[in-house]
Amino acid sequence: MSGNTNTLLSFLSASINRRAGLAVLFASAVAIVGLAAPSFAEDKRAVKVGIMSGEDEDVWRVVTAQAAERGLTIETVVFNDYTQPNEALERGEIDANAFQHKPYLDNQIKTQGYHIVPVGYTGVWPIGLYSKKYTKIADLPEGAVIGVPNDPSNEGRALRVLQSEGLIKLREGTGILATTTDIAENPKKLVVKELDAGIVGRSVEDLDGAVVNTD
């Protein structure tokens, strides 16, 4: 089972007026949106964009190559921890980041007080339940250990994936920020293991299954 999420291109709010129009040229799944004034292409400065390690790096190699053809130099800054791109953007160490969906950003702004605003969308990335041991949902045994991301918005999305497959049922009225304490029914007695979002995918081999956000 999988669902899709739109990845945001985000800026520090104080820089929006100067960069109105920063849009990055994506090939295939991603579209480049417009960049702010003054134009980075005109002053020849590289735009530093924070991304996550892994598949994102392959996508952004294409992005940077196509952007260069249009006179825009993009320098990617790779992070391994989901908390780092927003911290770096808030401190002014990068010009933008592209790694999160809006519920995650909203939660980060609320809890950390960041002055970050989304300026557009980049790619659409699936979230799904993966396993190296089982090929069918029905084959998951009683007591199976399932990994989920431990950050508020992604954990809620992961639990909804499990619910959509009939593996658990969440309490009525549970919102996007659901946690394991909101599980009302768990017929297979699954052990839902909360892990850092950056390592959930790498932990699939050690678990019976994991809900992985593929951005």
Band of pLDDT at residue 9, cut at 50, 70 and 90: low
Q: What stretches of the chain adopt beta strand conformation (E)? A: 2-12, 47-52, 74-79, 96-100, 116-130, 145-149, 169-170, 183-185, 191-195, 209-213
Q: How far is CA 99 from CA 17, 83, 96, 213, in A?
A: 22, 11, 10, 11
Based on the domain organization, do 167 and 73 belong to the same domain? no
* Residue-by-residue DSSP string for 88-105: HHHTTSSSEEEEE-HHHH
Beta bridge partners of 49: 76, 96
Based on the domain organization, do 208 and 103 belong to the same domain? no
Based on the domain organization, do 85 and 141 belong to the same domain? no
Q: What is the mean pLDDT of the chain?
A: 81
Q: Which of 72, 107, 125 is the last residue of a domain?
A: 125
Based on the domain organization, do 46 and 111 belong to the same domain? yes
Based on the domain organization, do 33 and 115 belong to the same domain? yes
Q: pLDDT, tens digit, for every residue of 18-77? A: 343 444 443 333 333 333 223 444 556 788 999 988 878 988 998 889 888 888 889 999
Q: Is the pLDDT assigned to residue 14 strictly greater than 70?
A: no
Task: Please check whether residue 20 is in contact with residue 37, taking contact to mean a CB–CB distance below 8 angstroms.
Answer: yes
CA-only gyration radius of the chain, Å: 19
Q: pLDDT, tens digit, for every residue of 121-140? A: 777 677 899 999 999 999 99
Based on the domain organization, do 33 and 98 belong to the same domain? yes
What is the pTM for the complete model shown? 0.65
Pair of tokens at residue 90: 């808030």
CATH code for the domain of 171:
3.40.190.10
Based on the domain organization, do 97 and 14 belong to the same domain? yes
Based on the domain organization, do 135 and 173 belong to the same domain? yes
Based on the domain organization, do 67 and 147 belong to the same domain? no
Pair of tokens at residue 183: 């599980």
Q: Over range 78-98, report the average pLDDT.
A: 92
Domain that holds residue 75: 2-125
- Considering only 80-84, 121-125, 148-152, which range has the smallest mean pLDDT? 121-125
Q: Which of 125, 143, 168 is the last residue of a domain?
A: 125
Q: Which of 110, 125, 140 is the last residue of a domain?
A: 125
Q: pLDDT, tens digit, for every residue of 173-212? A: 998 889 999 999 999 999 999 998 878 988 999 999 999 9
pLDDT at residue number 185: 98
Task: Please check whether residue 114 is in contact with residue 90, taking contact to mean a CB–CB distance below 8 angstroms.
Answer: yes
Please say whether the dihedral angle defined by the alpha carbons of residues 123, 124, 130 and 136, taken in this order, is positive or negative. Answer: negative
For residues 109 and 115, give the distance between their C-alpha atoms in angstroms, rounded to a whole number.
7
DSSP helix, strand, coil percent of the chain (3-state; round to 5): 35, 30, 35
- How many domains does the chain fold into? 2
Which residue would you say has higher pLDDT here, 29 or 94? Answer: 94
Q: What does residue 170 show for φ and ψ, rounded to 5 degrees? A: -90, 155
- DSSP helix/strand/coil, 109: helix
Based on the domain organization, do 138 and 51 belong to the same domain? no
Based on the domain organization, do 46 and 86 belong to the same domain? yes
Based on the domain organization, do 119 and 137 belong to the same domain? no
Pair of tokens at residue 76: 């990617």
